[in-house]
Amino acid sequence: MLNNIFKVIISILLIQINMSNCNAVEPDEILNDPKQELRARKISKNIRCMVCQNQSIDDSNSSIARDFRILIRSKIQEGSEDKEIYKFLVERYGDFVLLKPPLKSNTVALWFLPFIFLVIGILVILNHNKKSN
C-alpha cells in the first residue's frame, strides 16, 4: 500500500523519470553494415517505447524497447523497406507507436494549425507594415 503511494508520489513529481539505468542500444544489437545500422537508428528514433513516458525505443533501456530494436534490425537485414517496418509496427500497436503522428483525417489539425497560426501571424505583421507606408 505504502509502496503504491510512494510510486504515485514519484510519478507526479515535478520531473518525471522512468529510466533508472540508462542503457539503450547495446553493442550486441548493432549491425555490421553501418548503412543498415544508420537506418535502424533512424527508425528507432521515431518509434515510441510503449511502456515509457515519452521516450523513443532508441533512448529506452526497457526490455520491450530492446525487442523492438532487434526486430527492426532483423527486418532491415531481411530486406524490408523503412515503410514496411513502420507499417508492420503500426498494424500491431496503432499510431501510438509513432512519435511523429502520420497525417490523417484526425491529425490534420495537428499538422496544419501551426501553419495557420503562422499565416495569421504574418497577416498581422503585413497589416501593420502596409498601413505605415
Partner 1 sequence: MKNKFLKLPIILFFIILFIFFYLLIIDRNPAKVPSALLNKNVPIFVTKTLVKNEKFSSSKEFGDQVTLVNFFATWCKPCKDEHAFIMRFSSEKNIKIVGINYKDNPKKTIEWLKKLGNPYSNVALDKNGKIAIDWGVYGIPETFIINSRGIIKYRHVGAITPKIYKKINLIIKEIE
Partner 2 sequence: MAPTLGNLALWLSLVFAGSQFYNTRKKNKLKIISISVIGLLISSLFSFFLLIYLYVISDFSVLNVFQNSHTTKPLFYKITAVWGNHEGSMLLWIIVLTIFNYFIFKLYNKKNFIFVSKTLEIQSFITLGFIVFTILTSNPFERMVPVQENGLGFNPILQDPALAIHPPLLYIGYVGFSAAFSISVATLVLKNGKNFPWYKYMKPFVMVAWTFLTIGIALGSLWAYYELGWGGWWFWDPVENASFMPWLLGTALLHSLIIVDKKQSLQAWVLLLSILAFLLSVVGTFLVRSGILTSVHAFALDPTRGIYILLFIAILGGYSLMLFSSKSKIYSTKNYFNFFSKEGSILVNNIIMVVACATVLLGTIYPLLMEALTGNKISIGEPYYNSTVVPIMLPAILIMGVGPILSWGKESVLEIAKKVSSVFIITLAMTIIIFSIYKSYTFLGIAGIVLAFWIIFNNLTTLYRNKFNNLTGMVVAHLGVGFLMLGITASSIWQVEEIIKMKLKSETEINKYQIFFNEINEIKGSNYLSLRGDFLVYDKGKNIIAKLKPENRFYPVTGNFTSEASIHTNLFRDLYIVLGEGNINEGWTVRLYYNPLVVWIWIGAFTIFLGGVISINKSLKRMPK
Binding region for partner 2 (CB under 8 A): 2, 4-17, 19-28, 30, 45-46, 48, 53-56, 59, 94-101, 106-107, 109-111, 113-114, 117-118, 121-122, 124-125, 128-133
22 Cβ contact list (under 8 Å, min separation 6):
59, 61
* 128: contact with partner 1 by CB under 8 A: no
**Residue 118, C-alpha cell as written in the block:** 503562422
68 binds, among partner 1, partner 2, none (CB under 5 to 8 A by kind): partner 1
**Residue 14, C-alpha cell as written in the block:** 515535478
x/- contact string, 34-73, with partner 1 (CB under 8 A)?
----------------xx-----------xx--xx-xx--
70 binds, among partner 2, partner 1, none (CB under 5 to 8 A by kind): partner 1
Q: How far apart are CA 4 and CA 104, in angstroms?
A: 39
41 Cβ contact list (under 8 Å, min separation 6):
25, 58
85 binds, among partner 2, partner 1, none (CB under 5 to 8 A by kind): none
Q: How far apart are CA 118 and CA 122, in angstroms?
A: 6
